[in-house]
Chain A
Amino acid sequence: MTSSKKELAVAALRNGTVIDHIPSRALFTAVRILGIEGLDTSVTIGNNLASERLGSKGIIKVADVEFAEDVLNRIALIAPDAMVNIIRDYEVVEKRHVSLPDTLVGIVRCSNPKCVTNHEKIPTRFIVSGHGADVRLRCHYCNHTVSGAEAATIQ
């Protein structure tokens, strides 16, 4: 096989999901949040690819899996520009942005060391408010509030 053919073999997806425009530093976190390590279908992960918008981006291709919307939206905090492509029979049948849910459960750790979520075995829960750069996350338990940018660095 020539190298260009090899690239094509990896790139072409008959059925499944392609998640593009993930910031490079967030790629492996996104992989973890989406539970991709546990899949047994073929998965292709690319990182540090050139991107005009992000400078450097990551991409995840998963064969034969279509993720539920609320699962995909769990990466919106760390990859707000992520674009989801649903592929069926080599065609992109749906293309959409991820969007931040009203509450984020079990993704971000609460940065308040006295918060109950850091002492008992419970998933964190944050109430999301604002948009874009003004996103704020308030802990459902201790009310500690952080910006979306801060929260994205706490994993």
Chain B
Amino acid sequence: MKSRSLVAIDQIDKQELLDLLARAQYFEAHPNSKILDGKVVATLFFEPSTRTRLSFETAVNRLGGRVIGFSDASTSSTSKGETLKDTIKMVSNYADIIVMRHFIEGAAQYATEVTDVPIVNAGDGANQHPSQTLLDLYSILKTQGTLEGLTITMVGDLKYGRTVHSLLMAMRHFKPVFNFVSSDELRMPQEYLDVCEREGIEYHLHTEFSEDIINSSDILYMTRVQRERFSDVMEYEKVKNLYTLHNAMLDGSKPTLRILHPLPRVNEISTDVDDNPKAYYFEQARNGVFARQAILTRALGIDPLKL
């Protein structure tokens, strides 16, 4: 079986996405096993991200694999000026697979070019974060029972938010209808609207976060609106509260609506939403372990469904 790196979600086709989701489903039913027994997984976090690292390391531990690595570049040889290439080459001698996060964009792609050990991108700056997208996809599948023909409303920072871009690219296989809700300054970039045009995907741009939009949605995907994204502070002050979800706004929504958020949130989802059964963002993170078990086994060429 082939072992394969995962750098970006749009490098894999619909069939492979479905294969990964089937694996995630399997691991949710069978979270603990020994199928990574004897495997060494390196987690190289050149940029700290406790949330993502713990999720990956839990995924490995529950499958019986071992973890080596570092959680912060200051404790690694990078701080002594070692190049990324040299670090990857060195670790390749020890590990069966490398999970890496880096603030440098394109770092994971480059890593695949200097080693034969499969690379899993756990985030490279503002560029790609495919395990986040897979867990989003798995959360949608799990809560809706299908990925096909859903109305997905993305709210907040649609310009810089890499999670919404990757989710759009992954969902494009499943005939969605998109609502893009943001201020003009943070609207969905043209290249992604072009993708929708090319693929014949219906989409609507909104600046107002109205109940009509919420009521038509199957998934509400909320993102953080960060002050530093605005060239004009006044503009930020004007829009910062326009894209906040409050519990009262959900009164007319579909019973099956679920609210997702990549976390951590700031104030874009009011805490009064947390107890609403439609709030799914805390469980969403839990799905990350299954999604990462799926990614790790695929990269290592281990098929849990055929063991």
Contact = CB atoms under 8 A, between A and B. Distances in A.
Interface of A: 112, 114-117, 119-122, 139-145
B105 interface: yes
A116 B110 contact: yes
A116 B109 CA distance: 9
A114 B124 CA distance: 10
Contacts of B103: 114
A115 B191 contact: no
B106 A142 contact: yes
Interface in B102-144: 103-107, 109-110, 124-128
Given A114-B125, A120-B110, A141 B85 contact: no
A111 B127 CA distance: 14
Given A120-B110, A143-B127, A145-B191, A114 B105 contact: yes
A81 B162 CA distance: 37
A117 B106 contact: yes
Contacts of A122: 110
Interface of B: 8, 83-85, 103-107, 109-110, 124-128, 191
A142 B125 CA distance: 9
Given A116-B110, A119-B104, A143-B8, 7 more contacts: A114-B105, A115-B105, A116-B104, A117-B106, A122-B110, A139-B106, A141-B110
Contacts, number: 44
A116 B83 CA distance: 11
Among all A-B residue pairs, the 8 with the closest Cβ atoms: A141-B106, A142-B105, A116-B106, A142-B106, A116-B110, A114-B105, A116-B104, A116-B107
A121 B86 CA distance: 12
A119 B107 CA distance: 10
A142 B104 CA distance: 9
Contacts of B84: 116, 119-120
A100 B83 CA distance: 33
B109 A141 contact: yes
Contacts of A143: 8, 105-106, 127-128
Contacts of A112: 105
Contacts of B83: 120-121
A116 B191 contact: no
Contacts of A119: 84, 104
28 contacts: A112-B105, A114-B103, A114-B104, A114-B105, A114-B125, A115-B104, A115-B106, A116-B84, A116-B105, A116-B107, A116-B109, A116-B110, A119-B84, A120-B85, A120-B110, A139-B106, A140-B106, A140-B109, A141-B105, A141-B106, A141-B110, A142-B105, A142-B106, A142-B125, A142-B127, A143-B8, A143-B127, A144-B105
Nearest to A119: B104
Contacts of B104: 114-116, 119
A111 to B, nearest CB: 12
A117 B105 CA distance: 9
A123 to B, nearest CB: 11
Nearest to B107: A116
Contacts of A139: 106
Contacts of B191: 145
A62 to B, nearest CB: 34
A115 B84 CA distance: 13
Nearest to A118: B104
A45 B66 CA distance: 63
Contacts of A114: 103-105, 125-126
